[in-house]
Amino acid sequence: MSTAKLVLNGKEYEYPVFEGSENEVAIDFTKLRAQTGAIAYDPGYGNTGSCTSTITYIDGDAGILRYRGYPIEQLATQSTFTEVCYLLINGRLPNADELDKFNQRLNKHTLVHEDMKKLFEGYPPSAHPMAIMSAMVISLSAYHPDLLDPEIIDSNIMRLLAKFKTLAAFTYKKSVGQPYVYPRADLNYAEDFLHMMFATPTQPYQVNPVVAKALDLLLILHADHEQNCSTSTVRMVGSSQANVFASVAAGVNALWGPLHGGANQEVIMMLEDIQRDGGDVQKYVGMAKDKNSNFRLMGFGHRVYKNFDPRAKILKKAADDVLHALNVSDPLLDIARGLEEAALHDEYFVERKLYPNVDFYSGIIYRALGIPTQMFTVMFALGRLPGWIAQWKEMHNDSATRINRPRQIYTGEAVRDYTSIDQR
Ligand code: SDX
């Protein structure tokens, strides 16, 4: 085993170095503070590994993404979302009988307790769906106790996976003041979600296979992404032995941020602003480079990908295919393409290796599917759910898991005595 040497205050220390299955190298600092009294300081954790994991592998320089070793490009064209759920959570692809049983188990749990509908009544129609979804996920823990009984955990995972899409559709119905539509066991995951979203008492939803397939693809592409902000949040919360509902509810909250899953909604709002402003993409590329402008090119850049996000590549083509198949033309797609073209030929973006990420084109497709902008981040969460669950389960079942408790460097006041209020 190789080691890394550290010299601190004239004293030399050695730390073990280990490699992952894709030859990523890590220095094991688990004993750093005990031996040196010093900590490793890495705000944003850009250089810090919180765990080892067998679920997802990303090579940001090469633009590689694999779920349990399978390239995202193959899963995108050959798999289905529920098969990817099975793969991420169980570590291998199911055979036909296993997948059929998995889908049947999901269909058994799609209904939510009727009393949960009362929870929706407390929200104004204008409530952001992510606020409601976070509350609904944590509320599931009130309806399904025995949260950490090993026999029950698997059932609760299936319940969460099945009920999330029902709750997401109910959240949309709440926002438009329409009655809730109940799930149907004769439809696949994507078809059933679209049915619950768009069927009304007077107008049954006619499943459009192009729309359902496009949604299934979007869900596959969002399913996991190693230790991103929301997944790390799920692991952080779960490390205290909080149950899967509580941990995933925390992940929903982290995903909502505009720098993370909220970016897909921000991209569309940015493209609409550019359209209203006459479509001058160069002006906005210029603003993105100007530190004083407070403007960022939403859907661009990534902490890990310093090459094209492979999901963005797939979505860029899918946007064309879906809009063509649905005979939809969206001026925002032309603006997005112009923006991408301008940015990718601009030194500022090239130098910083800023490329379109998963959020840049996903919103164009959601729009074509009839999904409102306010629901875009819920769609991201719907896709990411199996990844959060798989990562929570891996952490929960790892006997080496310790409660996550980072350190800090204090830079505040030195010790001082309390003074009575009349002396201040
Ligand atoms: C997701 O982690 C994941 O895997 C996330 C995700 C997943 O699947 O879970 O992939 C999903 O969250 C995708 C990212 C969605 N967010 C956005 O599209 C928001 C816009 N992007 C940025 O805010 C930014 O690129 C981040 C948040 C994605 C990454 O931020 P970093 O790694 O902290 O990078 P940074 O802010 O330090 O930027 C480095 C430089 C800076 O310039 P300098 O200080 O070097 O001069 O690049 C600039 C930044 O100003 N920069 C941008 C930019 N992104 C980075 N400048 C203009 N527009 C941008 N979008």
Q: Parallel, antiparallel, or unpaired for β 70-71 and 56-59?
A: unpaired
Is there an atom of ligand 1 within 6 Å of 363 CB?
Answer: no
Q: Which residues are catalytic?
A: 302, 359
Q: Do residues 122 and 217 touch, judged by C-beta distance below 8 A?
A: no
Protein residue with its CA nearest to atom 26 in ligand 1: 302
Residue 32 in any domain: the answer is: yes
Is there an atom of ligand 1 within 6 Å of 306 CB?
Answer: no
* Res 147: pLDDT: 74
Domain harbouring 20, CATH code: 2.20.28
Report the distance separating Cα 87 and Cα 83, nearest Å.
Answer: 6
Residue 237 in any domain: the answer is: no
Tokens of 398: 């790892």
Residue 43 in any domain: the answer is: yes
The ligand 1 atom nearest the CA atom of 352? 47
Q: How confident is the model at residue 94 (pLDDT cuts 50, 70, 90)?
A: very high
Protein residue with its CA nearest to atom 47 in ligand 1: 352
Report the distance separating Cα 47 and Cα 131, nearest Å.
Answer: 31
Sign of CA dihedral 73, 325, 385, 373: positive
Range of the domain at 18: 3-49
The pTM of this model reads: 0.96
Give me ligand 1 centre to Cα 259, in Å. 7
Residue 354 in any domain: the answer is: no
Q: How confident is the model at residue 7 (pLDDT cuts 50, 70, 90)?
A: very high
Give me ligand 1 centre to Cα 317, in Å. 23
Give pLDDT tens digits for 154-181: 999 999 999 999 999 999 999 999 999 9
Number of domains within the chain: 1
Helix, strand, or coil (residue 101): helix
Give me ligand 1 centre to Cα 177, in Å. 36
Report the distance separating Cα 111 and Cα 143, nearest Å.
Answer: 12
Residue 18 in any domain: the answer is: yes
Residue 80 in any domain: the answer is: no
Give me ligand 1 centre to Cα 287, in Å. 15
* Res 151: pLDDT: 78
Residue 17 in any domain: the answer is: yes
The ligand 1 atom nearest the CA atom of 231? 9
Residue type, 114: E
Give pLDDT tens digits for 231-250: 999 999 999 999 999 999 99
Residue 37 in any domain: the answer is: yes
Give pLDDT tens digits for 186-230: 999 999 999 999 999 999 999 999 999 999 999 999 999 999 999
Q: What percent of the chain has pLDDT over 90?
A: 96
